[in-house]
Amino acid sequence: MPVRQPLVIAIDGPAAAGKGTLAQRLAQAYELPYLDTGLLYRAVGRLAHEAGVDLDDPDAAGSVARRLQTEHLEDPNLRGREAGERASRVAAHYPVRTALLAFQQNFAHRPEGAVLDGRDIGTVICPDADVKIFVTASPEVRARRRSDELIAKGRDAPYERILAETRERDARDAGRAIAPLKPAADAHLLDTSDLDIEAAFRAACQIVDDVLARRAERD
């Protein structure tokens, strides 16, 4: 459905909760641009590597981050292991984080609004988002989803190992000093443990529609 006023939807949550798929579906349904913020650091790491930039140089990496364009996120190689390793190196730099904060906020402030998904969208990137949804699921369900996904791609992914990694990552994300993973105080919690994507999508649409209905009443 067309959106007549700017609408910013912030989708946060842990890995394998379904937030990426949900965010893409919402962007399509409400005709909004979509940003997968998880690709930003991967793109910076890849661009820095291709330019021969020292990934451990904060200022040099920050300069690359400031030149990042939306089209750089379309590279299919950003999903690979090497891109992830480079991302972890550049993400440690304050100039990179500052540049990507500005990138995300500029994306969100488009005239029509946007849908962004990540881990700190509703708390740090877009604290004034019109709709905030924190998508979660039990560690066991998320580990099973991730294990099944990797096995389908022909990779070795024992469930117990994935579950241990999931719990470790949850603890690390929730305990970090900068932008820890947590729902915003005004976020709508959406537990997808017992929901397929269609049911989760309907629930998310109901949340958005309720916000739009309240907006219409105010106007």
List, run by run, the mean pLDDT of 10-residue segments along the chain (219 residues). 78 91 96 94 94 95 96 88 84 90 96 94 95 96 91 88 89 79 94 95 97 89
State how many domains the chain has.
2
- Residue 52 belongs to a domain: yes
- Residue 219 belongs to a domain: no
Whether residue 48 sits in one domain with residue 155 = no
Instruction: Check: CB of residue 169 under 8 Å from CB of residue 14.
Output: yes
Give me the domain span that covers residue 176.
1-33+113-208
What local confidence, expressed as pLDDT, does residue 4 receive? 66
- Residue 216 belongs to a domain: no
Neighbours of 8 (CB within 10 A): 23
Whether residue 130 sits in one domain with residue 185 = yes
- Residue 3 belongs to a domain: yes
Distance from C-alpha of 128 to C-alpha of 214, rounded to nearest angstrom: 16
Distance from C-alpha of 97 to C-alpha of 123, rounded to nearest angstrom: 15
Instruction: Check: CB of residue 166 under 8 Å from CB of residue 15.
Output: yes
What local confidence, expressed as pLDDT, does residue 199 receive? 96
* Domain termination residue (choose one: 109, 144, 163): 109
* Domain termination residue (choose one: 109, 139, 158): 109
Assigned token pair, 75? 């590279």
* Domain termination residue (choose one: 84, 109, 134): 109
What local confidence, expressed as pLDDT, does residue 175 receive? 82
What local confidence, expressed as pLDDT, does residue 150 receive? 86
- Residue 124 belongs to a domain: yes
Distance from C-alpha of 115 to C-alpha of 54, rounded to nearest angstrom: 32
Distance from C-alpha of 153 to C-alpha of 42, rounded to nearest angstrom: 21
- Residue 214 belongs to a domain: no
CATH code assigned at 184: 3.40.50.300
Task: Specify the pTM.
Answer: 0.88
Whether residue 119 sits in one domain with residue 23 = yes
